[in-house]
Every structure is written in C-alpha cells, then in structure tokens.
Chain A
Amino acid sequence: MFEIAIAPADDRGAKFRPVTQDSPLARYALIVTAVLFLALFLLAPLAIVFVEAFSKGIAPFLAAFDDPDALAAIRLTLLVAALAVPANLVFGLAASWSIAKFSFPGKSILVTLIDLPFSVSPVVAGLVYVLVFGGQGLFGPWLAAHGVQIIFAVPGIVLATIFVTFPFVARELIPLMQEQGKVEEEAALTLGASGFKTFLTVTLPNIKWGLLYGVLLCNARAMGEFGAVSVVSGHIRGLTNTIPLQVEILYNEYNNVAAFALAVLLAGLALVTLGLKTFLEWRHADALAGRARRH
C-alpha cells in the first residue's frame, strides 16, 4: 500500500514552492548579473556618447554641425535611407505576399535567401558589390565605358544598404500574412472588390502595424549600417561618407567632440526607434502576434 499524507509544517500552514521556481538566492544572482551586464555593455557606452559629445559644452557640440562635410554626411544618410527603405518595403511586400498566399516551386529556397543578409557579414556583402560593379569587376569595364559609376559613389552605397536591410520588412510580414491566410481576401472578392481594392482595404489594414514595425527596424539599420557601406563608399569626404563613416573619420582624427556629436544623432535615432518599437509591441501586440520574436 502507498500512502500520501500532507501536513502543515507548523501552525501558520505550509508554504509550497513550485519546482520550477529557483531559490531566492539564485533568483537574485541571475537578476543582478543580467542588470550589471546590461549596464556595463549597453548603458555605459550610450551614456559616454552623450557625455563626450557635450564634454566641451554646447557650443562645440553645435559647431560640429556647421561643418559642410558633416552636413553632407547627414544628407547622404537621409538620401540612402529614403531610397533603400521604400525599395525594401516594395520587395518585402511582394516577397511576403507571394510566400504567404501562393505555393510555387522553390518557395522554401526563397525564404532561406531572404535570411541571407542576416547570416552574411556586411563586409562580405560590400566586397561582392565591388567584385561585380568595381573597376576590375565583372561589369566594371562596361559600366566605365558607359560613364556609370557605382562603386565609390552613391549608387553603390544604396545597393549595399538595400542588401543589408532587405530581410527586415519581409521577415516581419511573412509569418503575419501566413497566419492571416487568404480567407478575408476571398470574402472581399466574392463581395465584388477588385484585386487591388482588396489589397488596399483588406490586406493592408491587416498588416499595417507589422509593416510599420518592419520599416522602423529597416530604417534604423539603413541609417546605421557601417561595414558594407564602408567597403563600397571609398570614404570621399563630403561626397560618399554617411554618418557612421564620418564618425569614424572624425574619431581617427582625434576630433572627439565632432565624432560624438554625430554619434549622438545615431544614438538618438536608435532611442526613438526603440521607443516606437516598444510602443507598437505594447499597443498593437495582437496585430504583430503572427511574428516570432527574432530581433
């Protein structure tokens, strides 16, 4: 015979701790480790960016933005983002639409390829473009003969940025669209809506928050990208330097205040992106629910 008896340990009754809950000591140790790690490796560098930028007061900080090269870098960064983000928006929509709503041969290969930029080092991506479009590259002589310059010019920077950022929108939308299926679209079609109207009135509203989320991350990466852009840009001051490249040049010249002043712009962008992202996750969790957490 097997007998089970449970009795309170004392008069105040027994306390039962679930087996999955660790002892208080282990819990606090884990929490403290995580917080210290974050403070040391994330918060401290972020704080130093701001401290260094304002180390000589507000005037030198503002003076950093009077430099025509710095302004050119800001303009170029905005231009690159303005071209790369819409390109990836269109690509991301097309790719996720075709993956989620149709089945075709090679679909899983396409899904894998979309992830490629996440697994390839950005420097390699930049080098590939140099090998294809550069002076000694595959199309280099032909391009030179027609007076088109891609490498060490703005087109190369845009291409490299598109390559590095193209998974963001697609990866955001694919699981969302797969989860939603196509039944609402079918309903719209039976009610007489054309394909385009169905897209505008049914598909787009269903994915708008996911799309915005993807665009946000895509934009942050497009403006902050260093490696791939560094390889194809050629670092020509006032012409092919984006903000991250300009920061590096200034820092190497021991112009700390100017370097960190520009870095403040990038850090500010990161903070705004983080804020908006958190807001989206908090406010529209349902609309983003289709996605697995990866970022």
Chain B
Amino acid sequence: MEQDFGAFPALRDVSLDIQPGELVALLGPSGSGKTTLLRVIAGLNSPDRGRVLFDGENATNLPVQDRHVGMVFQNYALFKHMTVADNIAYGLRVRPRRTRPSRAAIKARVAELLQFVQLDGLGGRYPAQLSGGQRQRVALARALAIEPRVLLLDEPFGALDARVRKDLRRWLRDIHKQTGLTTVFVTHDQDEAMELADRVVVLNEGRIEQIGTPEELYDRPASPFVISFVGEAVALPVTIADGHVRFGGRELHIDTHGLRSGPARVFFRPADIAVAAEGNGDLEGRVESLRRTPAGVRATIAIDGYDQTLEIDSPLERSASLGGRVPLSLAKARIFPADENGEYVDAGDGI
C-alpha cells in the first residue's frame, strides 16, 4: 500500500509506503495532519493531488464504500439505536443481495466476532450499556466483520482511562498478530506508538519528519522535532566554529560531522547527562533543589548559561549539596543546525 500526496491543506508532500501485515503508527501533535492522513487512506477525505495505492492498484478515486477499509473511529461511532450484534452485522447486511451472506451466515459471523473480541453474551446490549473498553471492542469487531484489506484506527485509546489503555494496547497487538491485517493507527501518545508499532511515522505540520522503527527514532532521530517529541530531550544553543562546538565559554567534545560554522543546537536525553567526577565535566551546573527518590536523589540542576533547569537522578553516594556546583558529563548528544526550517543535517551520534 502506498500513499503519495501533494498539496492538501493539512498534508504536504507526504509519501508513505506500508508493507502488507505491518503495524504502523502515525504519531504527531494535534494539528499535525495524522488524522487527515488516515482519512485519506480510508477515502473519507480526498487529496487535491497525489495518489493512494492499494497493492499497486490506484485507489485514489475509489469511493469509500469500495475500499474495504475497516475503520475504528475515535469515539467509536457505534450506531446508538442498534444492538451490539446489529452493529457488527451492519457491514454484511448492507451488501447488495448478490454478495450478501445468508441470515444464518451473518449470525454465525457475528457470534464468532463477539467471541473474538471477548464480548460473548453481550450481543443484545445497546452501546450505551457498555463500558468504554467494551465499545472500543465492538467498534473493532464491526470493522473486522467486512474482512477489510486494511485496519485503520483513529486514536484507538484516546477516550479510555489509563489502566484500560494499557490492557487494550497489549490486546490490539495480539489481534494484529492473529489477523495479520495491515494496520495503521493514529496517536498523539509517543509511548503508545513506540510500544505497539513496527514502524512509526512522525508527522509535524502536515509533513513527515521521520519514518522508522522505534529503535531508529530513539537512536537516530532525524530532526530536532523528532528528538524532542519522541522521548524527553534538552536542547542547548551552541555555536560551531571551525569544527569546534562552543557552549558559553566551554567547548563541547561533539563531532560536528562537517556541519558548517554558525549557530546550532545540541540535543540530549536527560538520561544521557550525569554528575561527573571533579574536573571531568563537559558542562557545569548548580544544584537548585534535591529530593529523595526510592533509589537515590533527584537533583534539579541549572546548567550554566542555560535558562532552564533539568532533573538528574543520581545514586545516594554521589549526591551533591544544595547550591553547590557540579560538573556534568554528556554521554550522548546530537547536533542540528539552529535554523528550524533549514535542511536537516543528520549529524550522527555525538561525542
């Protein structure tokens, strides 16, 4: 399956190739175009230009009814006036007479799907009588009933509370494994995307920032947006001069990978910075507050020449004193040119 769009108000030059059987997450903040992209795949929105291909076949002008996509909507969009069983049977009952299964076959399929989503015995209930998690599963069963070519889920866990979310995540992973369906889901929750998906598409302002496996996104983020959106990151403004990276009066030992001289930003994960032995620091900071944690101490540290604070966990024996200055060492960092809209240079791993 392949999408390829040009100018669409919410999407710009998005090109995406999804392999059969893959579980793909579209990840991005609100307004990034992820839901629009999902709706374009479903056929609910049509792009101004560009194409949608299913198995190499052009589906751009295929009406939504003929695309055979199983769509699970954000608030499930269950038919309130129908029972759970009627909801699930809907896609089969509206088929033209030639292709419509017999009553008995529909009934059997509904029973099978109810069992599949672990809702046996609830076929006679109305959506209003179900919990959020149960409604979610009815929506999934209804989408699966039409034997879709691809399963699309819009914020599948958005409306659920934290505990149900966790259970359903695992459950969705199992469903994907059992059905082998190509699955695309939209989420703004990076944990969800990273935990579930084979590949994650990071979207920002209608553009794809990076497509990659969770490992690739964590270890080799392609842009400042990806490194800050996927996992926590701290950015330090630096200048590059003749291959040297300067932060305030200090030099950071980061490989610039041929980045041209000028302002740049160094990104690192909070986990990659630690309190160093005296005289070994890349940076220096001041301890602003200390709090006990089960394993040690969490220090809030203001880095010299940087107007924000960051929290560092360190073991008890290394604890610094309040107000004291501590040397900090950077284990890993990435450097990007400062110009947000400029071409990104993949700087590779730092240090």
Contact = CB atoms under 8 A, between A and B. Distances in A.
Interface string B289-316: 0000000000000000000000000000
In the complex, which range does the number of interface residues on chain B fall in?
20 to 34
A188 interface: yes
A206 B94 contact: no
A184 B87 CA distance: 11
Contacts of A186: 44, 64, 71, 73, 77
Contacts of B69: 190
B97 interface: no
B81 A205 contact: yes
Given A187-B71, A188-B90, A190-B69, A206 B77 contact: no
B94 A193 contact: yes
Contact of A206 (B42, B75, B81): B81
Q: Range of interface residues on chain A?
A: 10 to 19
B142 to A, nearest CB: 7
A190 B150 CA distance: 12
A132 interface: no
B80 A206 contact: yes
Interface in B81-110: 81, 90-91, 94-95
A193 B90 contact: yes
A202 to B, nearest CB: 6
A52 to B, nearest CB: 46
B65 interface: yes
Contacts of A194: 65, 94
B71 A190 contact: yes
B218 interface: no
Contact of A190 (B42, B79, B81): B42
B95 A192 contact: yes
Contact of A191 (B44, B81, B146): B146
Contacts of B143: 190-191
A219 B293 CA distance: 72
Contacts of B91: 191-193
Contacts of B90: 188, 191, 193, 201
B41 to A, nearest CB: 11
Contacts of A201: 79, 90, 94
Given A189-B44, A193-B65, A193-B90, 15 more contacts: A186-B44, A186-B71, A187-B73, A187-B79, A188-B90, A190-B43, A190-B65, A190-B67, A190-B71, A191-B91, A191-B142, A192-B94, A192-B95, A201-B79, A201-B90
11 contacts: A184-B77, A187-B142, A190-B44, A190-B71, A191-B91, A191-B94, A192-B66, A192-B91, A193-B94, A194-B94, A206-B80
Interface of A: 183-184, 186-194, 197, 201-202, 205-206
Interface of B: 42-44, 64-71, 73, 75, 77-81, 90-91, 94-95, 142-143, 145-146
